[in-house]
């Protein structure tokens, strides 16, 4: 059992802290937000994540999980401090390291015994080296402090499972001491450990996320071609998926990837490459395809309807994917303003994303258009002349083809997630437009 501190209680930090406690370590999570710390002490999670609150409560009760604003005490006695603060994208596409640097300085000023700083935040290649320098410059006590890279591969909606049952743990260290300590911390997880140097570990994270983003953009590119040549992207994906060199996951064409990771990490690597004078063409193409793909649904609907003026439009799903209330880079946010601008009367449904969406578009009129939030897909569909599906929530998938026919004024559906069988929709009298498949 080790004494661990975790800096930042966002997705990465909180889930790391809770899962470390679940594996027997004594963990103190640090955050600067007093209210957040108070509620976390009561076992209430600031983020929606399956299974997280149960584990929080269990480990708080067991006395292994603590929350504090007092970073100095938390870092002082820690064997290792995990940094999980955000690295948001700057306007030029680079990663903003200000939070990581602030925390690193605080750690350097607080540690009173040998300590390993473990960077879990996604940071550009070379950042671990810079942070190590910064820490050694700012150290107050005569102790050994080293920096290790330990990228995080959890996905929102399955964060706890992805951490406790990760496919691999990647650790990037520059000394045997650091490698051994981190290996010991992860030993109770009983998972494969890939031990490399710091720069390679940093690159594994970007290369993994960016490869997945590329896979999605590739499928979207092929989907657009399928529409032109009369092929069906879902059949194509199935045919590809049996080849385990390709794999069966992340082959779903749709309206592009969103979220806090792929958009940011594709831009960050492309930016980093440019700093080295290299054109990372795969990422340039991935990013371009994705931004165009996000508007596909609006464009299809616009082409078919010509105008949205006064038309009742059901919008099903707002979040960037199911299982989260996160709207960052969600395709809905790219399409809804265009619909409103064109005078659409939107009835929107999302099982948990509505409160966040209201921060962008409050209920009521916006220019020519109007938006009303409803509690079920059925309420959104009643009397609608068109329906746009942005997220494949279970609640939305449960709507049957027949219901579109019965509830809508005109059963005209634009599906950005290819939820339905094309033939079944046609058999039920629904005019169905999806991605990369015949109408």
CB of 146 or CB of 329, closer to ligand UGA: 329
User: Sign of the C-alpha dihedral, residues 425, 430, 434, 437?
Assistant: positive
Among 146, 152, 221, 227, indicate the residue that binds ligand UGA (CB under 6 A).
152
89 binds ligand UGA (CB under 6 A): no
Asked if 156 and 323 touch (Cβ cutoff 8 Å), the reply is: yes
Tell me the C-alpha distance between 171 and 200, whole Å: 9
Taking the complex as a whole, how short is the minimal distance between the CB of residue 212 and ligand UGA, in angstroms?
6
CB neighbourhood size of 46 (10 A): 17
C-alpha 25/C-alpha 44 separation (Å) is 20
Which of residues 251, 272, 333, 413 is near ligand UGA by CB under 6 A? 251
Nearer to ligand UGA, 45 or 252 (CB): 252
- State which residue, 173 or 209, has the beta carbon closest to ligand UGA: 209
> Min. distance of Cβ 303 from ligand UGA in angstroms?
22
Least separation, in Å, of the C-beta of 335 and ligand UGA? 14
Q: How far apart are CA 402 and CA 384, in angstroms?
A: 15
**Judged by CB under 6 A, which stretch of 43-51, 164-172, 208-216, 223-231 contacts ligand UGA?**
208-216
Chosen residue from 56, 154, 226, 381 binding ligand UGA by CB under 6 A:
154
CB of 329 to ligand UGA, least distance (A): 8
Q: Which is nearer to ligand UGA, 31 or 152 (CB)?
A: 152
Looking at 154-162, 228-236, 280-288, 358-366, which segment touches ligand UGA (CB under 6 A)? 154-162
Rule CB under 6 A: is residue 252 a binding residue for ligand UGA? Answer: yes
Which DSSP state fits 188? G
3-state secondary structure of 298: helix
Task: Please report whether residue 258 would count as binding ligand UGA according to CB under 6 A.
Answer: yes
CA distance 119 to 115: 13
Helix 331-341 to helix 296-305 angle (10° resolution) is 30
Q: How many residues lie near ligand UGA (CB under 6 A)?
A: 20
The residue from 110, 209, 418, 434 that contacts ligand UGA (CB under 6 A) is 209
Tallying the residues shown for the chain, one arrives at: 439
Q: 260-263 contacts: CB < 8 A, separation 24 or more?
A: 260/11, 260/156, 260/326, 260/328, 260/329, 261/122, 261/209, 262/209, 262/210, 262/212, 262/213, 262/216, 262/290, 262/329, 263/89, 263/287, 263/290, 263/328, 263/329
Half-sphere exposure of 373 (CA within 13 A, CB side): 16
Q: Indicate the SS3 state at residue 117.
A: strand
Could you give the residue ranges of the DSSP H alpha helices within 111-246? 127-138, 159-164, 176-186, 198-229, 233-241
Candidate ranges 2-10, 189-197, 250-258, 335-343; the one touching ligand UGA (CB under 6 A):
250-258
Looking at residues 103 to 132 of the shown chain, list those that interact with ligand UGA (rule: CB under 6 A): 122
Q: How far is the CB of 320 from ligand UGA (least distance, A)?
A: 4
Spell out, one character per residue from 292 to 331, where the chain touches ligand UGA: x when CB under 6 A holds, - when not. ----------------------------xx----------
Supply the residues annotated as catalytic.
261
Q: Which of these ranges, 149-157, 195-203, 307-315, 352-360, lies near ligand UGA under the rule CB under 6 A?
A: 149-157
Helix residue spans in 230-344 (DSSP H): 233-241, 262-275, 281-293, 296-305, 331-341
Find the shortest distance in angstroms from Cβ 216 to ligand UGA: 5
d(CA 407, CA 384): 8
13 sits near ligand UGA (criterion: CB under 6 A): no
CB of 153 to ligand UGA, least distance (A): 4
Distance of closest approach, residue 294 Cβ to ligand UGA, in angstroms: 10
- CA-CA distance, 166 to 39, in Å (whole number)? 28
Using the contact rule CB under 6 A, the part of the chain among 152-160, 268-276, 297-305, 418-426 near ligand UGA is 152-160
Contact partners, residue 397, CB within 8 Å, separation at least 6? 419
266 binds ligand UGA (CB under 6 A): no
428/341 Cα distance (integer angstroms) = 32
Q: Which span sits near ligand UGA by CB under 6 A: 17-25, 124-132, 249-257, 268-276? A: 249-257
Residues that bind ligand UGA (CB under 6 A): 122, 152-156, 209, 212, 216, 250-252, 254, 257-259, 261-262, 320-321
């Amino acid at each position: 059992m080790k004494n661990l501190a975790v800096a930042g209680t966002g997705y990465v930090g909180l889930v790391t802290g809770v899962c470390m406690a679940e594996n027997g370590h004594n963990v103190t999570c640090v955050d600067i937000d007093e209210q957040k710390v108070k509620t976390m002490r009561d076992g209430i999670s600031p983020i929606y994540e399956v299974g997280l609150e149960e584990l929080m409560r269990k480990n708080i009760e067991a006395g292994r999980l603590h929350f504090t604003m007092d970073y100095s005490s938390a870092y002082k006695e820690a064997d290792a401090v995990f940094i999980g603060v955000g690295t948001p994208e700057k306007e030029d596409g680079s990663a903003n390291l200000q939070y990581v640097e602030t925390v690193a300085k605080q750690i350097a000023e607080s540690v009173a015994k040998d300590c390993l700083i473990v960077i879990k935040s996604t940071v550009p290649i070379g950042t671990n080296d810079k942070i190590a320098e910064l820490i050694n410059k700012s150290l107050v006590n005569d102790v050994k402090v080293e920096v290790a890279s330990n990228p995080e591969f959890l996905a929102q909606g399955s964060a706890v499972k992805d951490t406790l049952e990760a496919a691999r743990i990647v650790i990037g260290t520059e000394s045997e001491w650091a490698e051994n300590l981190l290996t010991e911390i992860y030993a109770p997880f009983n998972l494969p450990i890939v031990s490399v140097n710091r720069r390679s570990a940093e690159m594994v994270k970007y290369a993994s996320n960016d490869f997945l983003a590329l896979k999605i953009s590739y499928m979207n590119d092929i989907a657009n071609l399928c529409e032109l040549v009369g092929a069906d992207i879902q059949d194509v994906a199935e045919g590809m998926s049996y080849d385990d060199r390709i794999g069966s996951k992340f082959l779903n064409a749709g309206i592009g990837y969103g979220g806090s990771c792929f958009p940011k990490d594709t831009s960050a690597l492309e930016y980093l490459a440019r700093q080295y004078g290299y054109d990372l063409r795969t990422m340039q193409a991935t990013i371009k395809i994705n931004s165009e793909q996000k508007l596909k649904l609006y464009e299809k609907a616009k082409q078919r309807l010509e105008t949205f003026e006064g038309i009742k439009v059901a919008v099903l799903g707002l979040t960037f994917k199911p299982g989260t209330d996160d709207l960052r880079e969600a395709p809905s946010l790219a399409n809804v303003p265009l619909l409103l601008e064109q005078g659409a009367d939107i009835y929107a449904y999302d099982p948990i994303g509505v409160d966040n969406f209201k921060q962008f578009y409050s209920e009521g009129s916006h220019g020519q258009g109007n938006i009303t939030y409803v509690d079920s897909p059925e309420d959104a569909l009643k009397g609608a002349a068109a329906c746009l599906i942005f997220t494949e929530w279970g609640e939305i998938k449960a709507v049957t083809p027949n219901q579109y026919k019965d509830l809508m004024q005109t059963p005209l559906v634009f599906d950005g997630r290819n939820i339905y069988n094309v033939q079944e929709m046609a058999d039920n009298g629904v005019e169905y437009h999806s991605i990369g498949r015949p109408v």
